[in-house]
Amino acid sequence: MKRIISIFFLVCFFTFNVFATHMRAGEISYRCPNPITAPLTYEITIVTYTYTPSLADRPQYDNFKWGDGTTSTIYRIDSATIPHTQIRRNLYVGQHTYPGPDTYVISLEDPNRNGGIKNIPNSINTPFYIQTTLVINPFLGPNNSPVLTNPPIDNGCVYVPFIHNPGAYDVDGDSLSYKLIKCKGEGSLDIPGYTFPTASHSLSINPYTGELIWDSPVQIGEYNIAILIQEWRFGQLIGTMTRDMQINIESCNNHPPIIANILDTCVTAGSILNIDVTATDPDIGDVITLTATGGPFMVNSPATFNAAIHHDTVTSMFTWQTECSHVQKQPYQVTFKAIDNSSPVNLIDFETLMITVVAPAPQNLTANPVGNNIHLEWNISPCPNAIGYKIYRRTGFYGYIHGYCETGVPAYTGYVEIAAINGINDTSFTDTNNGTGLIHGIDYCYIVIAYFDDGAESYASYEACTTLIKDVPIITNVSVNFTNSANGSIYIAWSKPTELDTTQATGPYKYLIYHSNDQPGNNFILTDSLNGLNDTTYVDTLINTVATPWSYRIDLWNDTPGDRFLIGPTQKASSIYLTLTPSDNQLLLNFTPNVPWINDTFIVYRKNYLAIFDSIGYSTTNQYTDLSLANGVLYCYKVRSSGHYFAQGIIDPIINYSQETCGIPVDNTPPCPPYLLVLPDCGKIENDLTWNNPNHSCANDVISYHIYYSHTNSGDMELLSTLNDPDDTTFTHQNLNSIAGCYAVTAVDSFLNESVFSNIVCLDIDSCDIYSLPNVFTPDGDGYNDYFIPFPYHFVEKIKLQIFNRWGKLVFTSDNPDINWNGKDKYTNTDCSEGVYFYVCDVYEIRLTGLKKRTIHGIIHLYRNQK
């Protein structure tokens, strides 16, 4: 009977191991077969790798979890044994319609993970778990998960670097990132005790390419790792996939082949890309098999790479005839794999190539002026899958030619996007400057690119530049001649039109001169007129050039009797209006003219001791700070601008002057705050304040200090005292009921500018002895310890004390913080018996937060010495 039991046990044990040594690797992927007609229906594919002899074969998975709370059966549709191994690849496919947009975690849990995995404790009893996250978001569009082209079963040798790449391809062109995570077990939880495989140097994965490097295994055996692949679209996470893979490490005397380095590249859609790939094996005589996988092999007009086999060295050519359908923002990844034929382990090397397919630039961009607008035209994009164009503009020619793999229009060129056109058949655009018209005399340059629905951009077109036809006057000067509040004058000049259409405007001609006493030109009124085209200067007099800037506009009219009409106005232009902002020993000058030309430089003039304006500096911005001045002294200034238009035939440089204005530097800059230190003196019940003198570091005219105080941390800081000696940097706060309080110090300079608060320092009574009671006293009349009194204390306003005997009878009460209990019963005035008494005492302390009650409890041992 014992023998029968033993045989039964062995059979059960053997059967358990056969079933349990089953699942080795796998992943879940999905696709949306009909995104337009059935956007909620997805096809799910499970790929697993199992031990072929195992009896735990699964032709189907019951209760497969779709992630929406439902389960169903999913069936195996194919299986095949990997050559020269006992590993079988299983393919399960199912279809499911989801209830609506949401995030769904699709998962598979199999109880039969194989035993003996080195980095999974008790792996034979640990379930195998994989999951994939599906995000259905109508705003991001339908999604297909990546497809992993390299199998998750691999081999390596101890002390030899192991390399693997899952070879992920995303048909949607989404961005992929990779990270190592712990393998999952029952209920999607991390496997208890799981550890990453031990490496002699490191174990890492490239987050961009997915290349896994284990450098290097230190022990033979089977290991499992998990790779989390994340999918990103427009910066948002749109899906994840977890691959659980197995690596078998053996002891071998072999070195892996080496694929020569291949640089990432870009290719213009429509071009052929040819790349030679070479692998060598350091072990003479080994046969190398060189293959490739990746996205370019899975598209229309796929790439080709003939698998090559040769000993020692092998070479094959990667060839791809690209086309516009290949254009996408994310690069395509190609993984080249070289494997040797060494025994017992075939070692592998991977090389990853990233290929970006870029759309060619729009061709034959032209720019032609039409009135005060510019009309652009270009050829239709050769890529019909482009969804539109972007138009960029700058002033002045740049000469931009795109660099290697440089798409779109980079910001460093100074070009700014001014419009986007939807649809590739619309190949023209009129730049009206948002309806305000462009400026005569400015050289406008344009670039056009095509763009795609995933954010990809073509190469940039060549630049096209032009200026508006000079058929209207161009204003050049608005310069203050004389500064006066009633009798000021401004010089105005303009360039006459040189391309006037005299068949339409036959003349005679007249200039109408408008001015406005503001910088924007909101209040134009007619001030004068000039006959003819050649009189192009004017002096506006009897105006107030002190109080405001002045703006001007010149209108050119055809003055033919019976046929008067406006030919066109100049742009508005204002005088330079100079303002001064006083500060300590300096004046800040601001000057911002509103003009259509480009000002390059501003020269600053200051009146010297001979009452002559002399240049003191320059600025390329609209500000200048005159330093090292004397406070209280009057200084007078004016500014000269120097600028230009781009067009030929216009005065260059364009020189204009501001009005004259004066200012007095005043010290309105407060000193920097001191740094404060506060120390309590508990015995004297006072606080000692010390701070630094800012004159020794960041100021030079501090004359006094203000000391601020609040007795609570929530109260307002009030002025406590002022010290008028800048070298007196200490203060003692006396006559306190409590040291609790907050302090700050400010510095005041000779112009009575006060700094901000120093650091605020708050003290509480915990810095000193707090109220506590002894546990023994001896009221026996010997003059020593005859009264029950507290230890030395401070900052107590009152107490409420109750003392009870051991039976709970109240024998003494007091609200005097000093207590002074003589050991007598308060009701009978007789001596209380020796023994243990209990007290409850509410202590009302003057704390930083105000008057607060603290309750203390304790026992008192009452003793009397025998006489």
* DSSP code string of 74-131: EEEEEEEEPTTSSEEEEEEEEEEE-SSSEEEEEEEEES-BPS-BTTSTTGGGS-EEEE
Residue 6 has pLDDT above 80, yes or no: no
3: helix, coil or strand?
helix
Residue 172: how many other CB atoms lie within 10 Å: 20
pLDDT of residue 21: 53
Q: Are 313 and 258 in contact (CB under 8 A)?
A: no
pLDDT of residue 867: 52
Q: Are 124 and 115 in contact (CB under 8 A)?
A: yes
pLDDT in tens, 154-205: 999 999 999 999 999 999 999 999 999 999 999 999 999 999 999 999 999 9
Chain centroid to CA 322: how far? 35
pTM score: 0.70
Residue 5 has pLDDT above 50, yes or no: no
Give the pair of three-digit tokens for residue 355.
């290929």
CA dist 134 and 42 (Å) reads 10
Residue 737 has pLDDT above 60, yes or no: yes
Chain centroid to CA 185: how far? 35
Would you list the DSSP string of 366-416?
Answer: EEEEETTEEEEE-PPPS-TT--EEEEEEEES-------TT--S--GGG--E
Question: What's the mean pLDDT in 540-568?
Answer: 95
Q: When comparing pLDDT for 82 and 277, which is higher?
A: 277
Burial class (CB in 10 A: 0-12, 13-18, 19+), 343: exposed
Q: Which residue has 């007078």 as its token pair?
A: 636
Residue 257 has pLDDT above 90, yes or no: yes
Distance (Å) of CA 97 to CA 35, 71, 170: 12, 12, 22
pLDDT of residue 220: 94
Kind and range of the H or E run holding 8: helix 2-20
At CA 66, angle to CA 64 and CA 67, rounded to 5?
125
pLDDT in tens, 392-431: 999 999 999 999 899 999 999 999 999 999 999 999 999 9
766: helix, coil or strand?
helix
CA dist 90 and 404 (Å) reads 44
- DSSP for residue 795: S
Question: What is the number of alpha carbons within 13 Å of residue 4 lying toward its C-beta?
Answer: 1
CA dist 26 and 90 (Å) reads 9
Burial class (CB in 10 A: 0-12, 13-18, 19+), 598: middle
174: helix, coil or strand?
coil
Q: Which residues of 673-686 are buried (b: 16+ CB within 10 A; e: fewer)?
A: bbebebebeeeebe
CA dist 814 and 242 (Å) reads 73
CA dist 348 and 259 (Å) reads 10
Would you list the DSSP string of 836-865?
Answer: EEEEEEEEEEEETTEEEEEEEEEEEEE---
Give the pair of three-digit tokens for residue 219.
């022990």
- End-to-end, the C-alpha distance of the chain in Å comes to 92
Residue 2 has pLDDT above 60, yes or no: no
Q: Are 174 and 140 in contact (CB under 8 A)?
A: no
50: helix, coil or strand?
strand
Distance (Å) of CA 707 to CA 313, 551, 680, 688, 764: 85, 53, 16, 12, 19
Which residue spans within 750-793 are E strands per DSSP?
A: 761-763, 776-777
pLDDT of residue 4: 33
Give the pair of three-digit tokens for residue 715.
């109260």
Q: Which residue has 């034929």 as its token pair?
A: 341
342: confidence class by pLDDT, cuts 50, 70, 90: confident
pLDDT in tens, 605-635: 999 999 999 999 999 999 999 999 999 999 9
pLDDT of residue 700: 84
pLDDT of residue 3: 34
Question: What's the mean pLDDT in 111-130?
Answer: 92
Question: What is the number of alpha carbons within 13 Å of residue 116 lying toward its C-beta?
Answer: 14
Would you list the DSSP string of 257-292?
Answer: -EEPP---EEEETT-EEEEEEEEE-SSTT-EEEEEE
Residue 734: how many other CB atoms lie within 10 Å: 11
Identify whether 653 is preceded by a cis peptide bond (ω within 30 of 0): yes
866: confidence class by pLDDT, cuts 50, 70, 90: low
Q: Are 639 and 604 in contact (CB under 8 A)?
A: yes
- DSSP for residue 788: B
Residue 385: how many other CB atoms lie within 10 Å: 18
Which long-range contacts (C-beta less than 8 Å, at least 24 apart) are formed by 86-89? Answer: 86/51, 86/52, 86/53, 87/24, 87/49, 87/50, 87/51, 87/52, 87/153, 88/49, 88/50, 88/51, 88/52, 89/47, 89/48, 89/49, 89/151
Please enumerate in sequence order all residues whose Cβ is within 8 A of that of 669, keeping only pairs 6 or more positions apart, or say none.
583, 584, 753
pLDDT in tens, 11-22: 333 333 333 458
Mean pLDDT (the chain) is 92
pLDDT of residue 19: 38
CA dist 553 and 524 (Å) reads 8
Phi and psi, residue 852, nearest 5°:
-125, 145
Amino acid found at 89: R
Q: Which residues of 308-333 are buried (b: 16+ CB within 10 A; e: fewer)?
A: beeeeebebebebebbbebbbbbbbb
Please enumerate in sequence order all residues whose Cβ is within 8 A of that of 374, keeping only pairs 6 or more positions apart, or say none.
367, 368, 430, 431, 438, 444, 446, 466, 468
Q: Which residues of 629-656 are buried (b: 16+ CB within 10 A; e: fewer)?
A: bebeeebbbbbbbebbbbbeebeeebeb
Q: Are 209 and 354 in contact (CB under 8 A)?
A: yes
pLDDT of residue 865: 77
CA dist 541 and 421 (Å) reads 50
Q: Are 703 and 753 in contact (CB under 8 A)?
A: no
Instruction: Give the closest residue to 707 by CA, choosing from 675, 747, 670, 740.
Output: 747
* Most distant CA pair in the chain, distance: 139
Phi and psi, residue 297, nearest 5°:
-85, -5
Q: Which residue has 């309750």 as its token pair?
A: 855
